[in-house]
Chain A
Amino acid sequence: MLPMMLVIAILLPLVAAIGCYFLRVSAIRTLIVLATGVCVAAVSLALLGQGSFTYSPGTIVGISWDSLVTLADFALLFVMLYYAFKLKNQLIKVFVILQIIPLALFELFVIDHAVETPAIFADSLSLIMVAVISVIGSLICFFAIPYMKEHEEHLHLVKSKQPQFFFFLVLFLGAMNGLVLSNNILWLYFFFEVTTFCSFMLIGHDQNQIAVKNATRALWMNALGGVAFVFGMIWAYVETGSLDLQVIIHSGPMGGLMLAPLGLLCLAGFTKAAQVPFQSWLLGAMVAPTPVSALLHSSTMVKAGVYIVLRLAPAYAGTFLSQGIALCGAFTFLACAAIAVSQSNGKKILAYSTISNLGLIICCAGLNTKWSITAAIILIIFHAASKALLFLCVGTIEHGIGSRDLEDMHGLYLKMPRTAVITIIGVLTMLLPPFGVLLGKWMAIESASGNMFVITMLALGSAVSLVFWARWAGILLTAPLRDKVPAESQSILTKLTLTVLAGIAVVLSLFSPMIYTRLIEPMVGKTFEITAGVFASPMGVFAVYPIFIILAGAFIYSWIETKKSANAKTSQSYMCGANVKETGVQSFIGPMNTPVAVKASNYYMKEFFGEEKLTLWVNFIALALIVLMLGGAL
């Protein structure tokens, strides 16, 4: 049973991807994507129910899976090298060759191939990741079906590029599942490279100048991460004599030389998770069609980065490296949240907020207490749901009004009431209790409270992020509004995915106590007593159920009151008594007795938080922190 489930989780997406590529009929493709998504999601939940396991796949027709992976790995690296020459990019060439040569030497002369390493190992962390990837990732693939159709209609393409698009999109899910389930570090490295390559192809999908430019940047930055990974892996093997990730993590007290390879592996995680100063590739990824951004930002790719840092956390616990990681993460959390304030592009705000939240997760891994690791896992789960939802909302809005700029979203409720309300729900789940993201943030802040620098950055970052979220939720409602708004039409798959994701984002919070006791506590160790849905420890309490119930009541009551106000009088906005008296017109009598339309826009506070103003300094400080982290490790 187990091998079958693993095949479905990792290999089925590959088969389906090939199907999408060769069977070029849109109905068949739709069917393949839907069927694969449902199967993978169902299997991921079944795996979650089954619990931890170790597994070695053995051989297939006489060839060991290990050698197949090695073969595929080199094939992939040479494909990347091909693209490096095609794009004439020196950086990528250097970084890919810096992976090929050490890896070849490593395979040929260093590794003892007689030693059997279990290829697959799953504990709660892996299984939670598989569930996040498979459920949320599949929903995003579903959303992509109608979206890509419209997208290509907008572009007036003669020949559809959807087969290639869905090839990489579906393949991505399998690669991610493989990555989080791998125990053999060579396997982990292979899947790590597959995600790099998939993201490169997906970002460059539209093949216009900017898409190619940003895809190239994504490739060189992630290839740099690949180099760090290869050297970290070889060094770790030299130190411990094992390819087994569990052995590497638990190989006795860590000190001195062992910290350096861990530092390098974490650096690889940093590039993948787009931590400053590597944030620019993920920001560039916005040019890709929205489902790609949603996938990269919520359930795949960047989560691979934080997964690696979190996976290695027990290995560097209590060291200087750990503190360095906490500082780097906290700094990213603050810096990116601050820059997000100055942005008016919806996708860019989401991108910065993603990087910021990943920083928080990495900071939690660095703090390295039971409490903070719990926080990190909770954040991974809930951030994926809310962020996927928000990206898909922006995609829907963009197709609806032709813009992703906040200033064009004033009063969106009048035009797209459904999408507007779902977007607001998404925003609130990122921001307010009792939703999971805030539960994670609460745990993070409480567990960081002993560390003066980290807590200061978390406090500032948390306040800054409130600004851009609340502002966004508010302006969607801006309108003189009294009558019923006409309903909005959405295609079935769009409606389905948005509703399900919104449901997950809201309802999953109700299960957070259960997620904690069933999944996190057995792995991390007990930190909280749970009674009646209340997290309690001697240091803090967070009442999930009571607050959830009271707030649900509050929202229902407020809505009833709102309905009751239907017969209240309508007022025009106050404009110092100079309103133009027509109903429904928002203008005032200006100079020369002419009507002037009212226009308002957000404060972006560019003189404090401007992207141009901050980015250089942020990168500089982040680089210094990374040097500090790695230097301290050496």
Chain B
Amino acid sequence: MKTIILMILGIVIAPILGGLIAGIDRRVTARLQSRFGPPILQPFYDVAKLFGKDKVVSNFWQVFCSWVYLIAAALSVALLFGQTDLLLVFFVQAIGAVFLVMGGLSTPSPYSQVGAQRELIQVLTYEPLIILVFASIFMVTGSFRIDEILAYKQPLLIQLPLMFVVLGYALTIKLRKSPFDFSTSHHGHQEIVKGVLTEFSGPYLGIIEIAHWYETIFILGICALFWHTSLVGVILLLVSTYFAELIIDNTMARMTWRWMLKYVWSIGLAMSFVNLIWLYAG
């Protein structure tokens, strides 16, 4: 019963929190660039406006894919809040990722096609790292179950500092921020227009936006596991991590996918190995 309540809570709260974070993100980014920026509620106004627009599609599978993307993202957050299994949650999240790519590939627009291929490379880059992060959590706590992990007495950050940095790479990629924002270029007017999202418009773009909010909460929720022992710790960790993301986003130029794949895999694997060897030695 408790699980179901937590899951429903997750489904309801996550998009609200995700939208607010997006709003704060825009505001802080603006300040970093000496602008004022939009009101914090602007992402909600944007999505509301999208839902008011005419429905326009070029391939009806787009509609299907955007809905499945949203539902899978919501389900993964629900499973995370319901304290099930880390890997399971991640695989459910992958359903969303796959359907977003399929939606992008379903129209023959070159921007959408290239964006979808790049999105796949992003998934290729972050997925092994996240699995390794989960495996390392398993090595420390002896379980993939979130309820068991929450019962662990120490913050994981103490034993897995480098794995947290590795997770940070995955977070940057998943949030589609520079230097890794090449599948949808989250600032408009760039080389591939809006990448995988180019052909989605109106309510369907709105759906994808909400799904993205869910994903933001999903990945921040996993970050929160690293300091689960105190609420202050969680907030401190998340605020500083997200702020670091913003700084990186604003100071880095976008790189190519070749660079990303080589760089993130090599650095990520090296750091994982170092951290895991510590664990074994200790």
Q: Do A and B bind each other?
A: yes
Q: Pick the interface stretch among B31-39, B239-247, B269-277.
A: B269-277
Q: Are A565 and B55 in contact (CB under 8 A)?
A: yes
- Find chain B residues with CB under 8 A from A539 CB: 138, 142-145, 148
Q: Are B106 and A477 in contact (CB under 8 A)?
A: yes
- Find chain A residues with CB under 8 A from B193 CB: 574, 576
Asked if B92 is an interface residue, CB under 8 A from chain A, the answer is: yes
Residues of A within 8 A of B (CB): 410-411, 413, 428, 431-433, 438, 442, 445-446, 449-450, 452, 455-456, 458-460, 462-464, 466-467, 469-471, 473-475, 477-482, 538-543, 547, 550-551, 554-555, 557-559, 561-562, 565-566, 568-576, 586, 598, 600, 602-603, 605, 607-608
Q: A432-B98, A445-B87, A562-B61 are in contact. Are A600 and B139 (CB under 8 A)?
A: no
- Find chain A residues with CB under 8 A from B124 CB: 463-464, 466-467
- Find chain A residues with CB under 8 A from B60 CB: 481-482, 562, 565-566
In the bound complex, how far is the Cα of B135 from the Cα of A187, in angstroms? 43
- Find chain B residues with CB under 8 A from A558 CB: 63-64, 67-68, 71
Q: A452-B276, A539-B142 are in contact. Are A459 and B55 (CB under 8 A)?
A: no
B272 to chain A: closest CB distance in Å?
7
Q: Can you list 10 residue pairs at the A/B interface with Cβ under 8 Å?
A: A459-B135, A479-B106, A481-B106, A542-B85, A547-B92, A557-B67, A562-B63, A565-B55, A572-B58, A573-B107
- Find chain B residues with CB under 8 A from A547 CB: 75, 92
Q: A467-B123, A540-B88 are in contact. Are A551 and B95 (CB under 8 A)?
A: yes
Interface size on B, residues (CB 8 A): 74
Closest A residue to B273 by beta carbon equals A452
Closest B residue to A448 by beta carbon equals B135
Closest A residue to B112 by beta carbon equals A573
- Find chain B residues with CB under 8 A from A600 CB: 108, 110, 113-114
Q: Are A477 and B269 in contact (CB under 8 A)?
A: no
Asked if B159 is an interface residue, CB under 8 A from chain A, the answer is: no
In the bound complex, how far is the Cα of B59 from the Cα of A413, in angstroms? 11
Which residues in chain B, 120-134, are within 8 Å of chain A measured between CB atoms? 120-121, 123-125, 127-129, 131-132, 134
In the bound complex, how far is the Cα of B117 from the Cα of A282, in angstroms? 29
Closest A residue to B113 by beta carbon equals A600
Q: A480-B58, A568-B55 are in contact. Are A473 and B98 (CB under 8 A)?
A: yes
**Selected contact of B57 from candidates A551, A559, A571, CB within 8 Å:** A571
In the bound complex, how far is the Cα of B105 from the Cα of A539, in angstroms? 38
**Selected contact of A446 from candidates B87, B127, B132, CB within 8 Å:** B87
A67 to chain B: closest CB distance in Å?
53
Tell me the number of A-to-B contacts counted with CB atoms below 8 Å: 229
Closest A residue to B111 by beta carbon equals A574
3 tightest Cβ-Cβ pairs between the two chains A and B: A474-B105, A573-B109, A568-B55
Asked if B47 is an interface residue, CB under 8 A from chain A, the answer is: no
- Find chain A residues with CB under 8 A from B29 CB: none
- Find chain A residues with CB under 8 A from B276 CB: 452
Q: In the complex, given contacts A540-B85, A574-B112, what are 12 additional A-B residue pairs having Cβ atoms less than 8 angstroms apart?
A: A433-B92, A445-B135, A455-B132, A456-B272, A463-B127, A466-B124, A470-B101, A474-B106, A481-B58, A482-B60, A547-B75, A550-B75
In the bound complex, how far is the Cα of B113 from the Cα of A475, in angstroms? 9
A160 to chain B: closest CB distance in Å?
41
